[in-house]
Structure 1
Amino acid sequence: MSENLRAQTISRGQSVEMDDNARRVLRNTWNLLALTLLFSAGVATVSMIKNWPHPGLIITLVGYFGLLFATQALRNSAWGILTTFALTGFMGLTIGPIINAYTTMFSNGDQLVIAAMGTTGVAFIGLSGFAMVTKKDFSFLGPMLFAGILVAFVAGLVAYFFSMPALSLAVSGMFALLMCGLILFQTQQIVRGGETNYIMATVTLFVSIYNLFLSLLQLFGFFFGEE
């Protein structure tokens, strides 16, 4: 299907059949995503067992953006896979202490973690499945998601440095919605041929899952946490 015909078909709201390249990208993305989730969970488990402290906001941001930019620069080579595992492993390292904090802070902390994890999984499966079968084009979400994430990120920094719990909670709600939108957008981009690099697709979906889980964990802790 030519690009013009593809655009015309999408604009009319009709479904677009995946071509072989889109299937390959989707398959590779899901395979790499599954491996990175397992690797990140393993690193998080080790950090929890060893009771490693959280590296702090500055180190977390420097490590995250540094590895993210490295992955983007190497996305067309095998080294990009290595930096993808480095990035997701680092994120697992940062999430372990957070989970430990919740299980210590709340008497039902284990249930909160399981609930956040289960809700994240259900949301990801549901949104990805919907993106694959819907006739609606969600490409318009791209600029809105970028702007929304930027605003939420800045608001999160303000809430952190000025100790504003209410704003922090609002940011968690914003991120939960934005990450759901990003999962929907990115999956449809793969299906419709807008994303052809499975490494970057994997990173985007992993970051969406990571942030969605953390946002839900904070929301569940606020509304359902028992001290």
Structure 2
Amino acid sequence: MAQYPSMQRSGTAKAELVNAFMRGVYGWMSAGLGLTAVIAFLTATTPALQQLVFSFRADGSIGISSLVWILMFAELGIVFYLGARIGTMSASMATGLFLVYSAMNGLTLTPILLMYTAESVAATFVCTAGMFGAMSAYGMITKKDLTSWGSLLFMGLIGIIIAMVVNMFLQSSAMSFAISVIGVIIFLGLTAYDTQKLKTMGENVPLGDATAIRRGSILGALTLYLDFINLFLMLLRLMGSRR
């Protein structure tokens, strides 16, 4: 009985540490999403910026500029670089790279968002936020170990990427619909899985090590940011009303 108060305090301290860590994760994720939204809005409403993401051809047709493709490959590089080097880079560099990635994503998402009405984009965002919040909350509070979900979700993710590449040539509406539905399921699962994984990370983060906490928060923010954006895009394909 004499040991119980000490154990209780230890458990309380761990819970407070996890909560503080997850607040950092959600805070930076929200900052990234906010920056993406601002850049996308400015690009969509500013003719000078539209010149950066659209290619206006002589025949009057409009395509995606080469800059967008360059930025997409650069974004992929940033994601892999952050994932591989997060443990050795400074906290300020990790934060800067995440914010640069978020800003670049605002540019590359603009051509997609302009394909849909503003009302349907807003409605899809609200729906995404609700579904993401519910699954992230599940990942935080569930006592079930979601580790086994990881390999299954990863295989599903690879599968829909391959299917999307194939459908670029087939242009099948039925296949596009199936990809979107399966994609929603996969990214909802990843949201819960990644949230639980980050909760575990928060339990083991070095107490008092501000650099390690910031690095972990940025990596976690990037992870959940990617889950949110991809869930949003999959839902937009299902719910969005084209212009």
TM-score per shorter chain, which class? Answer: 0.7 to 0.9
Residue 25 of structure 2, aligned match among 21, 29, 34? 29
Within the alignment, does 1:198 sit opposite 2:217 as a pair? Answer: yes
- Residue 201 of structure 2 aligns to a residue in which SS? coil
Moved more, 42-51 or 207-216: 42-51
Contact conserved, 1:18 with 1:192, CA < 8 A, in 2?
A: no
Contact conserved, 2:72 with 2:108, CA < 8 A, in 1?
A: no
Between the aligned partners of 1:90 and 1:118, the Cα distance in structure 2 is 22
1:19 deviates by: 3.8
Between the aligned partners of 1:96 and 1:187, the Cα distance in structure 2 is 28
Q: 1:31 to 1:142 in 2, by over 3 A?
A: same
Amino-acid identity (%): 26
Gaps of 5+ in 1: 1-16, 103-108
Q: 1:86 to 1:55 in 2, by over 3 A?
A: farther
Moved more, 35-44 or 158-167: 158-167
Q: 1:18 to 1:190 in 2, by over 3 A?
A: farther
Residue 228 of structure 2, aligned match among 209, 218, 224? 209
Residue 112 of structure 2, aligned match among 85, 90, 98? 98
Bigger Rg, which one: 2
Stretches (4+) displaced over 3 A: 17-21, 54-61, 193-196
Between the aligned partners of 1:59 and 1:180, the Cα distance in structure 2 is 29
Provide the TM-score with structure 1 as the length reference.
Answer: 0.79
1:55 deviates by: 4.4
Contact conserved, 1:18 with 1:191, CA < 8 A, in 2?
A: no
Count residues with an aligned counterpart. Answer: 203
Q: 1:176 to 1:48 in 2, by over 3 A?
A: same
Gaps of 5+ in 2: 1-12, 55-63, 206-215
Aligned Cα root-mean-square deviation (Å): 2.4
Counterpart AA for 2:188: C
Within the alignment, does 1:122 sit opposite 2:130 as a pair? Answer: yes
Between the aligned partners of 1:216 and 1:19, the Cα distance in structure 2 is 34
Residue 132 of structure 1, aligned match among 125, 136, 140? 140
